[in-house]
Amino acid sequence: MIGSVPATALAASPPVAESQLVIAPLLIVLVAAVGSLLFGRWTRARIGVSLLGGAAYAVAVAAIDWYIVLAPSAPGAATYQVGGWPAPFGITLVADGLSAFMLTMVAILGVASLVFSTRVLPEIDRRSYYFPLFHFLALGVTGAFLTGDLFNLFVWFEVMLMASYIFVAYYGGPQHTRAAFWYVALNLLASAVFLLAVGGIYATTGTLNMADLSRRLADPAAYGIDPRSVLGLYGLLLSVFAIKAGLVPFQFWIPTAYRAAPPQITALLAGATKKVGIYAIIRLSFTVFADAPVAVDLTVPGTGLAVAGNSPLPFVGAVLFVMAAASILVGGLGAVGRESIEGVLAYSSIGQVGFIAVPVAIAATTTSPELRQFGIVAALVYALNHTLAKGLLFLAVGAVRTATGTSSLSDLGGLAGRSPPLAISFFVGALALVGIPPLSGFFGKFLVFDVAARAEAPSVLALLLAGSLLTIAYATRTWNRSFWGARTAAVEEATTDSVQLAVLGVLAAAIIAVGVGFEPVYEFADAAAEAALDADAYVDAVDPADASDVDLEAGGEGGETGGEHE
Amino acid sequence: MTGVILAGVIGALFALGTFLLLRRDLIRVVWGLAIISQAANVYLLAMGGIAEGTAETVPVLEGHGHEIHVPMAVADPLVQALVLTAIVIGFGMTAFALVLSYRVYEEHGTLDVSKLGDRE
């Protein structure tokens, strides 16, 4: 019934776990947000509440990891029915392997960024709404990972976006307001598209609960559904998620927004909100829409390119692959020519998301279940590496700015001699991006290449190789221009902050630790991939009530919440 | 018939919103966004299914003061709940976009999109 649990353990644990642990991270962040808002006047109290909230959040996520996913007798997935309304009528929160893996990444980076923030803030503005917004951003990200309802996913996206709009406009200068306006306009449009897809899916299937959707789409005849229009509606959703993930052709907002936001927030935008897009693509493609019997045939006549099947997955794979390939090239080429560190890193994260999406695309197009699971594992491991490495690098930009007041490559030089700890941390992050053993990046790159090799796709390998060479080029250039060479005036007067450097050191140590002790990380990613692919286990965990089970006193047309069509 | 009219109105709203979104004036862009989100809301409401209203389909009159008779045809309440949420979110976003465009005006001295400076 539940994939990753051995048969003996299954007998001991209940098949369906209802756990209040699932909602704990959400409540903790909400309390932290409200608490830090209440203590608006007392800076120390506000910082204290925020740090306490961050620590409690990390503990809650660790508890979910252990008690729901990793412990020997763990159920593998747990749900919380908000307000006691049974699925599919109420909002269901689901924590399974995939959600837990994503939450863990966010918890590590979030706490690092939070601690870092306490040392940057005095410069910016002590009385601003920085910390409440920080928690609301985390709230939106957490909710998006935990929700089991499509419309609720839309709401969490909005919570996350609202906070991120304000952060992009945070410094309030000309380029910040301009970047924020573009970002807002694009995402408002994306929200409208999301609503269109949600409405269409509801009208077609009569439900918005993901588990219920998955069950109904797997057997549309039994529920009287015509699943054909679902493919187009999912295409709309895919475009919304691609905007969040920043895949080409939806990448254009990234460079301006990433440079406008404070660096420690950009670390979260790249490390957490981008991953929400990736998570949504994986969750909805593989858990929800995978089994819908929709004939897809994307064979290009005369080229031998054939992608076809009786599921939306080949379509998802083909579209995702084109976007990922373009992202790798656009991101890599763009990053080589930037004139500031955060500019390089912003383009770099466009390319790195391409590296995450390539194995997902291969997983979607392949027919082999082993390769499919392996593809998701590769994508998740690469996503973890990207979160840690890019988070570290953006925080390093923050530290460089605190120390020197600039992050433009032409004003920097010789930082390695001025502050060796900063240089070593940056070096570790850059090497993790490039993929040098024994760092986390090595296994990320290795698995992605391995997936392409197992899929026997030499052109994909060539593309990945080109992307990797570009990564080496821009990482080396950034390092040479800012950390080596003659010290500039800005670097000569630099004074680094010890707490900031400590945060960088911890993240660098985490990157090395993931690389050295890779076995448990791989097992966790494997459990996450299994959870993503095992739609039956997901449906069983949520256990949505059937319309015919619902006892309405007078009976009549039944308790169908679904669309009452003409 | 209702369905055709509704489809026409939604289509016209989307067209108008897209037209405004492509203007150079920032305020018109915000208008365009607001109209597109409203069009999406109307669309969402229509997704609950449209049926001609009769005296039997008015739940308030039928059930008022008495026990509600379930077999009575009622409109799908879920889409209405969804739209309510979407309206509130859209309202907040529009307000924010308007404030932001005022701030853009303060910083740049213009509301012309093409004069907001280089996008690097």
Q: Write down the ipTM of this complex.
A: 0.90
The reply to whether B63 falls in a domain is no
A201 → chain B, closest CA residue = B47
Residue A550 tokens, joined: 């619902």
A94: helix, strand or coil: strand
Only one residue has tokens 């900063």, namely: A422
A516 touches chain B (CB under 8 A): no
Q: State the total domains in chain B.
A: 1
The reply to whether A436 falls in a domain is yes
Q: What is the mean pLDDT of residues B8-35?
A: 95
Cβ distance of A561 and B78 shorter than 8 Å: yes
Percent of chain A with pLDDT over 90: 70
Cα A328 to its chain centre, rounded Å, is 18
Per-residue pLDDT for A129 more than 90? Answer: no
Question: Which 10-49 residues of chain B touch chain A by CB within 8 A?
Answer: 21, 26, 29, 33, 36-37, 39-41, 43-44, 46-49
Per-residue pLDDT for A137 more than 60? Answer: yes
The reply to whether B109 falls in a domain is yes
Q: What is the mean pLDDT of residues A310-333?
A: 94
Per-residue pLDDT for B104 more than 60? Answer: yes
The whole-angstrom separation of Cα A499 and Cα A421 is 12
Q: What is the mean pLDDT of residues A295-315?
A: 80
Only one residue has tokens 């924020």, namely: A180
Question: Which 130-169 residues of chain A touch chain B by CB within 8 A?
Answer: 151, 154-155, 158, 162, 165, 169
Cβ distance of B117 and A184 shorter than 8 Å: no
Q: What is the mean pLDDT of residues A205-222?
A: 92
The dihedral formed by the CA atoms of A50, A54, A55 and A58, expressed in degrees to the nearest 10: 170
The reply to whether B45 falls in a domain is yes
Q: What is the DSSP letter of A123?
A: H
The reply to whether A7 falls in a domain is no
Q: Report the pLDDT value the prediction gives residue A121, as an integer from 0 to 100.
A: 63
User: What's the mean per-residue pLDDT of chain A?
Assistant: 89
Domain residue limits at A483 = 12-540
The reply to whether B65 falls in a domain is no
Q: Which helix (H) or strand (E) holds A309?
A: strand A308-309
Q: State the total domains in chain A.
A: 1
Q: State the pLDDT confidence band at A544, using cuts at 50, 70 and 90.
A: confident
pLDDT digits (tens, 9 = 90+) for A160-174: 999 999 999 988 889
The reply to whether A383 falls in a domain is yes
B101 → chain A, closest CA residue = A181
Chain B residues closer than 8 Å to A199 by CB: 40, 43-44, 46-47, 79, 82
Residue in A528, A557, A554, A539 with CA at minimum distance from that of residue A103: A528
How much is the pTM?
A: 0.91
Q: State the pLDDT confidence band at B51, using cuts at 50, 70 and 90.
A: confident
The reply to whether B8 falls in a domain is yes
Q: Report the pLDDT value the prediction gives residue A547, as an integer from 0 to 100.
A: 60
Residue A224 tokens, joined: 């009287």
Domain residue limits at B14 = 2-50+76-113
The reply to whether A561 falls in a domain is no
B6 touches chain A (CB under 8 A): no
Per-residue pLDDT for A446 more than 70? Answer: yes
Q: Which helix (H) or strand (E) holds A153?
A: helix A150-168
Residue A417 tokens, joined: 């001699």
The reply to whether A548 falls in a domain is no
The reply to whether A560 falls in a domain is no
Residue A555: φ, ψ to 5°: 70, -95
pLDDT digits (tens, 9 = 90+) for A525-539: 999 999 999 999 999
The reply to whether B118 falls in a domain is no
Sheet with strand A92-96: strands edge to edge: A17-18, A77-81, A92-96
Q: Confirm if A371 and A455 have CB atoms less than 8 A apart.
A: yes
Q: Which helix (H) or strand (E) holds A77?
A: strand A77-81
Question: Which 70-109 residues of chain B touch chain A by CB within 8 A?
Answer: 70-71, 73, 75-76, 78-79, 82, 85-86, 89-90, 92-93, 96-97, 100-101, 103-104, 107-108
The CATH number of the domain holding residue B27 is 1.10.287.3510
Q: What is the CA radius of gyration of chain A?
A: 23
A93: helix, strand or coil: strand
